Amino acid sequence: MNDFNIAVLGAGSWGTALSMVLCSKGYKVNLWTRSEEQYRDMVRTHKNNKYLPDVNLPANLNLHIDLRESVLNAGAILISVPSQSVREVLQGIKPYLKGDEIIINSSKGLEKDTYLTISQVVNSELPNNRFAVLSGPSHAEEVCQNMPTTVVVASKSKNTAELVQDLFITPGLRVYTNPDVIGVELGGALKNVIAFGAGIADGLGFGDNAKAALITRGIGEIARLGKAMGANKSTFAGLSGIGDLIVTCTSMHSRNRRAGILIGKGKGLDEVLKEIGMVVEGITTTKVAYKLAKKHNVEMPITGEIYNVIYNGGDAKEAVTNLMTRSRKHEIEEIVDSTSMDW
């Protein structure tokens, strides 16, 4: 049994799936939820009935409702709460930390009021802790069933990235490392915007051609904004870029795509959120991405049209027409460049 303690904050589908991976390797894992109702149900049934109802929780998984108890003596703390709750959770655990814990983020979003990435939020609250971000094409429903999955861990410190790589790597979960923290974060966050758009296209009854166009042009938008914000473009040709975009735009496991489908079918946003029943990160991220594109003077037409549909009540069919009738362009995308990245 490995005596390295890990706290997982957030008992949604992804936090639960990653807890199961860590438990399978013999780590002592504390899984925290803020919901007393969910906590009691998980203790009673040994299942996460709200998010992964068909999966039995490991016997060696420790469930917690007390935030302090969940992080005491933890060598690593995995953040897996909705992106808009990250700062609050960090502020909640700050008094109980020693400063040598590794903070690992697996939330895929941007803070809506500050437009900060999660690494920037963590640095503002816990500047002395080591940090890594885990991202990539990885549906929790498949990971908890040990289906082959690949993810990427990014950190400014090579040693930290490799330590986190060792924590999570299994025969079913292959983990790569990358020094481009902001690129990996932006890939994981912005793909939700394009996936929402892919869902709208599906809801409108469009076919594979439209989806291929959205994915291809979408990764171009993501890479342009990423470069403007200091990311390396080659990151977006990897797991947290094209990889995550493909899986999120094509799978019904994706709540962003499912939400977009409902919008495309004519349902209102409040009705959509009620039906999905979980946080749809792409809705908030669309607004932040739209504002960041304006700030950095980056052309993001797909993001702009999705923003108009969500926040201005724009017509989804008209949005597609606007995209299809834009002024003629020449296509040469430089998603993969020759810039070398290393620590």
* Cα 285 to chain centroid, rounded: 11
Note the pLDDT tens digit of each residue in 279-316. 889 899 999 999 999 999 999 999 999 999 999 999 98
Task: Confirm whether 227 is a catalytic residue.
Answer: no
Domains and CATH numbers, the chain: 5-179 (3.40.50.720), 182-324 (1.10.1040.10)
Annotated catalytic residue, options 108, 191, 227, 287: 191
Note the pLDDT tens digit of each residue in 33-75. 999 999 999 999 999 999 999 999 999 999 999 999 999 999 9
Dist. CA 242–CA 25, nearest whole Å:
29
Torsional class of 150: left (φ above 0), alpha (ψ -120 to 50), beta (otherwise): beta
> From residue 12, how far is each of 56, 141, 246 by CA, in Å?
14, 11, 22
- Residues facing residue 30 across a β-bridge: 7, 62
Q: Which of 289, 294, 327, 292 is nearest to 306 (CA)?
A: 289
| pLDDT in the model for residue 215 | 92
- Residues facing residue 5 across a β-bridge: 28
Dist. CA 17–CA 7, nearest whole Å:
13
